[in-house]
Structure 1
Amino acid sequence: MELLSLDLHPIFRNNRDIDLALREFLFRAARSGAEVAEIIPGKGTGQLKKRVIAFLAQKHIRKLYVRMETDATNSGRVLVYFSRPGAT
């Protein structure tokens, strides 16, 4: 199974591009039937990661996925889990 991935390093300075990339990526991942997708804000100062988590916490975005977590082995990576089609 291919892991869907969004690396925010190239656009980390542009707030509008970040929001647009996150929105498009999450909708695409949800439609694809993927079980999990990764967002890579990087480690840095942690500000971009906080922004990603705040974005994911928005009520209308939260409806797209089941849960999200920071990767236990890589703090610069956020994993977003979707429900599988047909799963109970």
Structure 2
Amino acid sequence: MSKPFVMELFLAGVLTGSHSTRQRHLRQAKHIQADIANRWQRETPWTWQKKHLTWFLQHRLNRRREATRYYYLLTVRLLVRRLQKLWVFRCHAKI
């Protein structure tokens, strides 16, 4: 039986800042994980591709405020840093 994935342990090495900032990143990372798992059945970040995170940023946040999209972008950049990938994401203005 496999153990459930724990986002806190996954991000532990890259999380910095105040307690509230770390909690926000964890909350948003869990939200990203749940949406990607729902859409593509990819349970852990180790199985994600760049297209999964691009989909989340473009389609799941398209009706959110610009500030919200920016904070999620920061969380995505933390996830990418933890995965040790060279993926680049930019903030997209609402159309």
Q: TM-score, structure 1 length as denominator?
A: 0.39
**Structure with more of its chain in helix, by fraction:** 2
**Structure with more of its chain in strand, by fraction:** 1
Q: TM-score, structure 2 length as denominator?
A: 0.38
